[in-house]
Amino acid sequence: MIREILKFGDPLLRQKCAEVTEFDRELGILLDDMYDTMLKADGIGLAAPQVGVLKRVIVIDTGDSGRIELINPIIMSMWGSQYEPEGCLSCVGKRGIVKRPMHVRLKAQNRFGKPIKLHGKALLARAFCHETDHLNGILYEDKVIEWVEEDDK
């Protein structure tokens, strides 16, 4: 089911999300809905608070990465840096340059509660940081160094 994506300005996007403790059918439905909602909106990442659910749940698919589901993610280490334009499905039509690490290692759980470890580089590292920030009520606009002019749309 496609869910409504909340926009910047919605107070729910500024909340700190709660840890997931129940790896049940409801979580699976949330993940499936978030993935469908992200694809329909042409995004590469979506965090649960963006659909109004204040839980530590993320879906990512950069294309190259395939479908990634992160429950209770914790960034373990990051190194290097990159400066690239970044956008957000909660703020369509705007992009800004944000400094992010080039590499991110994180641990999380999958939809069944099993521990997983992932390494992201470049765009995937960026997505890990952007989406993890959402779980703490942090939005990329807080970190924009310079806004980028969009010449299409």
* Residues involved in catalysis: 131
Q: How far is the CB of 28 from Co ion (least distance, A)?
A: 22
Q: How far is the CB of 130 from Co ion (least distance, A)?
A: 5
Contact of 138 with 88, CB cutoff 8 Å: no
Contact of 82 with 126, CB cutoff 8 Å: yes
Interface positions, 87-126, toward Co ion (CB under 5 A):
88
Binding mask 52-91 for Co ion (x = CB under 5 A): ------------------------------------x---
Q: Which is nearer to Co ion, 71 or 88 (CB)?
A: 88
Nearest partner of 53 among 81, 31, 68, 84, judged by Cα: 31
| Residue 107, beta-bridge partner list | 74, 117
Strand 57-60 to strand 95-100: parallel, antiparallel, or no bridges (unpaired)? unpaired
Q: How far is the CB of 24 from Co ion (least distance, A)?
A: 26
Q: Which is nearer to Co ion, 21 or 145 (CB)?
A: 145
Which residues of this protein are in contact with Co ion, per CB under 5 A? 88
